[in-house]
A = this chain, B = another copy of it.
Amino acid sequence: MTGITPAQQKVFSFVREYINRHGYSPSYEEVRRSLGFKSLNSVYKHLKQLERRGYLKSPWDNGKRVLEIVSLAAGSAAIPFLGEVAAGTPIEAVETSESIEVPENFLGNGNNFALRVRGDSMIDDGIRDGDILIITRQPQAENGQTVVALVRGEATVKKFYLRGSEIELKPANSQMKPIFADAAEVEIVGVVMGLLRSYRTQKH
């Protein structure tokens, strides 16, 4: 993926979210208002730039609300490999941030990273020790999605359920108990979009 500046990233995320939520792109005016620009031209120029850099495209000229998120580069893309998650261990375990090549259709919204799973807390969902998770960074999740969350500073992979004002983080392992926590204590880091497993070195 080509470079992007902070300002462009802001516009891009907004458009991306908007399309996800509504199914069609926002009008320039909506972007302007939401992001606090005073001129439509600012919006226009950012969108043009994003188009030039390959993040967006508009299928026909002058089309209304027809922006599309470009499926990230045919083939695959490299995303940062941030380390490991295991129940009860902070993510920031691995300093040596490498990157890993993943197929395009495993990527989510454009801000992705990978983590290796430690432990068996999700084994009933077929997520095993050593598997690599592809995660899209986003601060909210839908019920039932598998998420990476920080609970009081500790990172885990669990299934997410909103129960009234509480959040349940549910392991997929009959041996383990779910975590219940106040919404304020839980920070959703991202949602699991894909899983890679290599049998290369393993011997079952």
Contacts and interface: CB of A to CB of B under 8 A. Distances in A.
Interface in A124-145: 125-128, 131, 144-145
Interface stretch (A39-47, A98-106, A149-157, A174-182): A98-106
Nearest to A144: B204
Interface of A: 1-6, 9, 16-17, 19-20, 22-25, 53, 58-59, 63-69, 71-73, 75-76, 78, 80, 82, 97, 99-106, 108, 111, 113, 123, 125-128, 131, 144-146, 159, 191-200, 203-204
Contacts of A198: 105-106, 193-195
A101 B82 contact: no
A3 B20 contact: no
B4 A146 contact: no
A104 to B, nearest CB: 7
Contacts of A203: 144
A51 to B, nearest CB: 13
A67 B5 CA distance: 11
Number of copies of this chain that the complex holds: 2
A72 B125 CA distance: 31
- Most chain-B Cβ atoms within 10 A of its Cβ — which of A68, A106, A108, A113? A106
Nearest to A12: B23
Contact of A63 (B3, B78, B192): B3
Contacts of A131: 126
A193 B204 contact: no
A199 B195 contact: yes
Contact of A197 (B6, B72, B191, B194): B194
A16 B64 CA distance: 22
A126 B3 contact: no
Ranked nearest first, the 7 interchain pairs of A and B with the lowest CB-CB distance are A3-B66, A20-B80, A126-B126, A195-B197, A126-B128, A71-B78, A76-B76
